């Protein structure tokens, strides 16, 4: 595995690659969720590139940019274990200049996650577009846990005519059901136990739907009932284009929840 720090080195290496490239962009603090993306990329491509970059433009003032977990040495070992070919680890000054051409996310980026974090997705799309330009992947791998992000990146690829296949990968969970996230380390013992109510509420919703319940209001009420003791930021049931719906549409529906534990926001969802 070769570690790359500069734009020029990555561009020069990319010019020499003629086979398929699988790309996994990350912010580091790699866990089994990231590993599943990397392994899928390894299985489906001749060359695998992983990036680790904590992107400042997607953090709002007062968010956890400085405190975001960084585990560079452990991350390098994980990438070596997964047989990554190239690991791109740039500095902020490498990725951003003094004056930038900006990316404006579409209006649907200001609902749900975007309502809580206005401008967040502008920063996400900006850095992903930069990374796509550098790596020119055949396939790019993203987890379904960040469902709205996945939707917007897929739309960006389509709207900008980028020759990239965006691969949506299933959520990876702990043995007790908690969706894996780099931010799980912020939880204390009590919060960690309470966080299991997120997946429990989603499983409860899926059980209702399996029994032919289709009214989204009824399902939302049941989710809120399961998570009654938690600080729920939102529960939403949307189609794959992120339009809120009144009736469950199988194979075109996502249930999303966000809960706060102090300053920590946890996302979870289920794709129906």
> Which amino acids are annotated catalytic?
34
> 65 vs 15, 142, 183, CA distance in Å?
33, 21, 12
Short-list 48, 1, 56, CA closest to 25 = 48
Structure token digits, residue 186: 């912020």
What is the bridge-based pairing of β-strands 231-238 and 254-261? antiparallel
State residue 179 phi and psi, 5-degree precision.
-65, 135
How long a stretch of residues is the chain? 272
The alpha carbon of 211 is separated from its chain's Cα centroid by a whole number of angstroms, namely 30
The CB density around residue 30, as the number of other CB atoms within 10 Å, is: 23
CA angle 268, 213, 114 (to 5 degrees): 30
φ, ψ dihedrals at 200, nearest 5°: -60, -40
The percent of the chain in helix, strand and coil, each rounded to the nearest 5, is 40, 20, 35
Structure tokens, 252: 């075109």
């Amino acid at each position: 595995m070769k570690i790359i720090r500069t734009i020029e080195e990555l561009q020069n290496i990319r010019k020499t690659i003629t086979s398929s490239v699988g790309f996994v962009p990350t912010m580091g603090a790699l866990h089994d969720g990231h590993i599943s993306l990397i392994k899928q990329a390894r299985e489906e491509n001749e060359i695998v590139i992983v990036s680790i970059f904590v992107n400042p433009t997607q953090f709002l003032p007062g968010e956890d940019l400085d405190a975001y977990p960084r585990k560079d040495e452990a991350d390098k070992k994980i990438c070596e274990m997964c047989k990554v070919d190239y690991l791109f680890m740039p500095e902020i000054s490498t990725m951003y200049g003094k004056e930038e051409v900006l990316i404006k996310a579409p209006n649907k980026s200001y609902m749900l996650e975007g309502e809580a974090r206005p401008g967040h997705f502008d920063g996400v799309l900006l850095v992903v577009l930069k990374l796509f330009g550098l790596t020119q992947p055949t396939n790019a791998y993203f987890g379904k846990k960040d469902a709205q992000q996945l939707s917007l990146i897929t739309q960006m690829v389509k709207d900008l005519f980028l020759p990239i296949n965006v691969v949506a990968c299933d959520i990876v969970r702990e043995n007790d059901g908690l969706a894996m996230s780099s931010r799980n380390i912020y939880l204390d013992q009590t919060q960690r136990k309470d966080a299991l109510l997120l997946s429990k509420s989603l499983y409860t919703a899926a059980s209702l739907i399996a029994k032919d319940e289709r009214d989204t209001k009824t399902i939302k009420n049941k989710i809120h009932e399961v998570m009654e003791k938690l600080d729920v930021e939102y529960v939403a049931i949307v189609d794959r284009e992120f339009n809120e719906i009144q009736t469950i549409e199988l194979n075109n529906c996502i249930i999303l929840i966000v809960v706060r534990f102090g300053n920590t926001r946890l996302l979870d969802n289920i794709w129906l």
